[in-house]
Amino acid sequence: MSHPLNGLSAIVTGAGRGLGRAEALELARLGASVVVNDYGQPGRDGSGEASSAPAEAVAEEIRALGGQAVAHLGDIADHETARELVGLATGTYGKLDILVNNAGILRDRMVFSMSEDDWDSVIRVHLKGHFNTTHFAASHWRERSKAAGAPVYGRIVNTSSEAFLAGSAGQPNYAAAKGGIVGLTTSTALALAKYGVTANAICPRARTRMTEDVFAGFAEPDEGRLDPLAPEHVAPLVGYLASPAAARVNGQLLVVHGGMVAVVERPRVAAKFDAVKETFSYEELDGLLSPYYESREGETFAAAEVVGLKRHRDH
């Protein structure tokens, strides 16, 4: 088995369960030393005995398989906690090479029913959390690059969502946060390219504790077959994007689930209108835009067809 991530260290946030756990295990399988982050504190199980936080359990799982891993317990939406997380990686392994931002929560409501706290908490964990860890990792890579006088190795894999692409009606907070993450990713990709760092975003579809209600209506797999919504379908793409092989992949958005990866094309200009005089009048815009949109009734910027993507199977 090849180990393309040998000698590299990685952080995976929200890695105590579900998607983050699968990603941390895959990075370790490919040779990386991993800092497993998750929110929470050690507790007690039903018997009253001390039990490990999920992050510690995943780190133990990686070590049991012969890999290197340490756990970090903390909320990465807190700026100082994110600083400590990056510091733990550099202090433990000498440097940071890979950052996988996965941590997130859901507070689903229609926009007219959503509370201020529903909005703020989702934006905080997803969007601010991605920024916090990216900020400290980027500073680390910039300093190393300047000291070396050359590019260094750096990979960022951010987690967006089809909710952003398709405009999920019951998730305005989540869709907004995930759209913001794509903007953060493309900006970061351009800013850090000269330092040797790439930044990409994925839109995974996976059945996890966070999404169990979202995918409740999706059929369970046949016995002996891997669930099409299993996080294990997503983790290999994260491993690839974190690897040297993906050096030319930067500022990209990819959808991944169920044995399928789709590359999402960047937005393109569909039409352009010029004012006859220096500026438009209402009447001129009405004459140009109304006929244009009349032929596109019901179409929005959202790409609802993305939700229908699936792996092609030969019959």
Residues assigned a catalytic role = 161, 174, 178
The neighbour count for residue 157, using CB atoms within 10 Å, is: 27
Asked whether 11 and 37 are in contact (CB, 8 A), the reply is yes
CA 102 to CA 10: how far, in whole Å? 13
Specify the 3-state DSSP secondary structure of 12: strand
Cα angle 41, 47, 52; round to 5:
25
For residue 258, what are its two tokens? Answer: 């169920």
CA 166 to CA 164: how far, in whole Å? 6
For residue 205, how far is the Cα from the chain centroid? Answer: 11
For residue 61, what are its two tokens? Answer: 């799982």
Asked whether 14 and 158 are in contact (CB, 8 A), the reply is no
Torsion of CA 207, 209, 215, 220, to 10 degrees: 60
Residues counted in the chain: 315
Positive or negative, the CA dihedral 38, 42, 43, 46 is positive
CA 215 to CA 235: how far, in whole Å? 19
Residue with tokens 């692409």, as numbered in its chain: 165
